[in-house]
Amino acid sequence: MKNFRNQIAVVTGGGSGMGRDLCLQLAAEGCHISLSDISTDTAAETRDMATAIAPTGTRVTSHGCDVSDEASVSAWRDAVAAEHETDHVNLVFNNAGIGGGGAFVDGSRDDWERTFGVCWYGVYYCSRVFMPMLVASDEGHIVNTSSINGFWASIGPHRSHTAYSAAKFAVKGFTEALVTDLRLNAPHVKASVVMPGHIGTGIALNSTQVLGHEVSAYVTEMAAEFRNSAPTSSEQAATIILDGVRDDRWRILVGDDAHVIDSMVRDHPEEVYEQSFLQRLVEQNAMAGVVNRQRGNTSFGHEND
Ligand SMILES: NC(=O)c1ccc[n+]([C@@H]2O[C@H](COP(=O)([O-])OP(=O)(O)OC[C@H]3O[C@@H](n4cnc5c(N)ncnc54)[C@H](O)[C@@H]3O)[C@@H](O)[C@H]2O)c1
C-alpha cells in the first residue's frame, strides 16, 4: 500500500505513544481512522489532534475499548462499521500493549495474565474480529506490534521478563505465519510484525495504571528516565512503521538498537541470556534502555514485576 489517502485504518492503543503518532501521521495523509484505547479520554484527545491536522473530509473517530476483552473489541468493530459507513477496513494496527508480569515463579499471577491478555489476546481478538473487514477491502494490511522481546526474551540477566516476552514472541510467530496464510487465502492483504527497540513513550506510567499499581514518585522518576533516555522518539518510530508498510516489508525493526540486537541475537544465540551478552550490547551502545532499567532495578519503570 503506497498511499494512505482515503484508506480506512483502525489503531489500538491510539491514546498515547506510537499509537497516537501513527494516528497523527495517517491523518495528515488523509487516511480515515477509528482509534481506540482503554482510556477514552486520551483516545478523544488523539482524535481531536488528528482531526485538526487532517485534510477536510477525513473522518477520525475514537472509542474506549479494552483489547483484552473480545466483546469490547466486537462492539468497537460495530461502531467502526456504523460511524465510517463501511463494510471494510484497509489497515489494522494492533499496537496496544503494556509491560509487566515479569516474574512467573514468584510474581503476581494477576499481573502476568493482564500483561499477556493485553499484549497477546489483544492482538488475537482484534485480528479475529477485523479480519473479515480486511478481507472485504480491495487492499489491506495488518500491522502487529511485537518488540525486540519477540526475539530476545530478556531485559538483561538480573530481571525477570516473562509475560511480556511470551506475548511478544506469540505476536511475532502469529504474524509470521499469517504472511503465508494470507498469501494462500487473501493475497490482497499483507501482514507485518513491528519490533521496536527502546522508544521514548509513556509506556511505563500507562502500564502501571492499567495494572492498577500505585504511581509512586519512584515509578514516575523511572518512567521519565525511560522516556527521556530513549534513542528513538515515538514520532520517529511511527514514521519507520508507516514507511515499512509502504515498502511492503513483513518485518519492521524500529531503531538502531533493534537492528543491533537482532543481528547479535543471531550471531550469539547461546549467549543471549548471559551477563557477557549484556556487556556486548553495552559495547555496541545498543542497550541504554536495558542498562538503565537494570540500574533502576525496574522493567518499564515498574517496581513490582
Ligand atoms: N516504548 C518501547 O520502548 C516499546 C518497545 C517495544 C515494543 N513496544 C510496544 O509498542 C506498543 C506501543 O507502546 P508505547 O510504547 O507507544 O506505549 P504507550 O503506553 O504510550 O501506548 C500504549 C497505549 O495502549 C493503551 N492500552 C493499554 N492497555 C490497553 C488495553 N487493554 N486496551 C486498549 N488499549 C490499551 C494505553 O492506554 C496506551 O495509550 C506496545 O505494544 C508496546 O509493547 C514499546
Q: Provide mean pLDDT across the span 165-182.
A: 98
pLDDT at 286: 83
What cell numbers appear for 118 in the block? 493485553
Which is higher by pLDDT, 296 or 279?
Answer: 279
Q: Provide mean pLDDT across the span 2-31.
A: 98
Residue whose CA is at the smallest distance from ligand 1 atom 32? 66
Confidence of residue 292 (pLDDT cuts 50, 70, 90): low
Structural domains in the chain, sorted by start: 8-295 (3.40.50.720)
Confidence of residue 288 (pLDDT cuts 50, 70, 90): low
pLDDT at 75: 98
Is 165 a pocket residue for ligand 1 (Cβ < 6 Å)? no
Q: Which amino acid is at 244?
A: G
Q: Which of 71-75, 123-127, 283-287 has the lowest mean pLDDT?
A: 283-287
DSSP state of 271: G
* Neighbouring-strand partners of residue 140: 189
Which is higher by pLDDT, 156 or 191?
Answer: 191
Contact 194, 144 (CB under 8 A): yes
For residue 198, the ligand 1 atom closest to its alpha carbon is 3
pLDDT at 298: 44
Could you give the percent of the chain with pLDDT greater than 70? 94
Active site residues: 164
Q: Which of 3-17, 190-204, 254-268, 280-294 has the lowest mean pLDDT?
A: 280-294
Is 198 a pocket residue for ligand 1 (Cβ < 6 Å)? yes
Confidence of residue 304 (pLDDT cuts 50, 70, 90): very low
Residue whose CA is at the smallest distance from ligand 1 atom 40? 97
pLDDT at 208: 94
pLDDT at 297: 40
Contact 297, 159 (CB under 8 A): yes
Is 35 a pocket residue for ligand 1 (Cβ < 6 Å)? no
List, edge to edge, every strand of the sheet that includes 60-64: 60-64, 32-37, 8-11, 91-94, 140-145, 189-196, 251-254
Is 175 a pocket residue for ligand 1 (Cβ < 6 Å)? no
The answer on pLDDT for 299 being more than 90 is: no
pLDDT at 300: 56
The answer on pLDDT for 305 being more than 50 is: no
Q: Which of 13, 57, 21 is nearest to 39 (CA)?
A: 13
Residue whose CA is at the smallest distance from ligand 1 atom 42? 97
Using CA atoms, how far residue 180 sits from 21, 185, 189, 265, 266, in Å, is 29, 9, 11, 25, 23
The per-residue pLDDT for range 221-249, each reduced to its tens digit, is 999 999 999 999 999 999 999 999 999 99
Q: Which of 117, 127, 210 is nearest to 167 (CA)?
A: 117
Is 13 a pocket residue for ligand 1 (Cβ < 6 Å)? yes
Mutate to test the pocket of ligand 1, among 18, 40, 73, 95 (most ligand atoms within 8 A of CB): 18
Average of per-residue pLDDT values in the chain: 94
For residue 119, the ligand 1 atom closest to its alpha carbon is 41
Using CA atoms, how far residue 59 sits from 12, 51, 82, 248, in Å, is 17, 8, 12, 25
pTM of whole model > 0.85?
yes
Q: Which of 49, 34, 39, 21 is nearest to 196 (CA)?
A: 21
pLDDT at 245: 98
Is 145 a pocket residue for ligand 1 (Cβ < 6 Å)? yes
Q: Provide mean pLDDT across the span 287-295.
A: 57
What cell numbers appear for 5 in the block? 489517502
